[in-house]
């Protein structure tokens, strides 16, 4: 399968955003974490700077930093043009909002780009595309995180989601997915089907988080091994 950079998000999410999205506590941040479809997020860079252990998986990591940077700049330009065109505000307000948006998210992207080559050398950024087999043995990680990918695109189909989650669970004792709605903020019809599929063999819960997506969506899907204690933050 050929991955195309045209789908690369123009910004990343930072350490604080990940912490709120997934309800991460200090104990979990000190464990072994896998990030799936992390793209240009700075969570890996920031967490590892604090002594954490994070490995991120994404097909964009097959490209050199120069190509990623150019593609991110173009994606940002196109996105901001679209925002300006569709924002029902006067030009000065729209520009101010865009400046704040850019500052917040581009700082995370810059941190990722600055860390990218070093992280690839250290094996922290790995070229991998779900749902294919991940080049790690079973139970390699304590926790797996998927931000703004799974369930956000229900068009990928139920089989893709089942295979992706099963492969994530093969190498992680617990996985967390945020959000549980599609990219328009509407409830994802896949969620109930995925819960029904995994609830027999795993502990499956929907948990509120401190992070809100479109239309106030604030739940993450948590799937964990029945023989492993649930994280204290989820009690």
Q: What is the tens place of the pLDDT at every residue in 94-104?
A: 455 556 666 76
Distance between CA 164 and CA 129 in Å, rounded?
9
In a domain, 99, yes or no: yes
In a domain, 25, yes or no: yes
Statement: residue 233 has pLDDT above 60: no
pLDDT at position 74:
80
Q: State mean pLDDT over 129-158.
A: 95
pLDDT at position 213:
83
Q: Domain span at residue 157? A: 5-225
Query: What CATH number should be reported for the domain holding residue 64?
Result: 3.40.50.150
Domain count, the chain: 1
Q: State mean pLDDT over 152-174.
A: 96
**pLDDT classification of 73: cutoffs 50, 70, 90:** confident
Residue 181, beta-bridge partner list? 187
In a domain, 209, yes or no: yes
**Higher model confidence: residue 227 or residue 144?**
144
In a domain, 230, yes or no: no
């Amino acid at each position: 399968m050929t991955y195309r950079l045209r789908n690369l998000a123009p910004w990343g999410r930072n350490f604080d955003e990940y912490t709120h999205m997934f309800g991460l506590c200090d104990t979990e941040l000190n464990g072994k974490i896998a990030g799936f479809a992390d793209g240009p997020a700075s969570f890996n860079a920031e967490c590892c700077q604090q002594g954490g252990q994070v490995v991120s998986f994404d097909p964009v990591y097959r490209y050199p930093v120069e190509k990623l940077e150019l593609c991110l700049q173009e994606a940002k330009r196109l996105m901001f043009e679209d925002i300006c065109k569709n924002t029902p505000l006067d030009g000065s307000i729209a520009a101010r909002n865009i400046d704040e948006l850019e500052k917040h998210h581009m700082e995370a992207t810059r941190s990722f780009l600055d860390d990218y080559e070093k992280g690839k050398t250290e094996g922290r950024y790995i070229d991998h595309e779900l749902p294919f087999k991940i080049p790690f043995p079973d139970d390699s990680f304590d926790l797996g995180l998927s931000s703004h990918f799974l369930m956000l695109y229900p068009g990928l189909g139920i089989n893709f989601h089942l295979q992706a989650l099963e492969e994530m669970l093969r190498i992680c004792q617990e996985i967390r997915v945020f959000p549980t709605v599609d990219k328009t903020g509407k409830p994802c019809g896949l969620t109930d089907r995925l819960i029904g599929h995994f609830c027999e063999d795993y502990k499956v819960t929907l948990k509120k988080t401190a992070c809100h997506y479109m239309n106030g969506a604030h739940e993450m899907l948590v799937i964990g091994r029945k023989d492993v204690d649930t994280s204290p933050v989820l009690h």
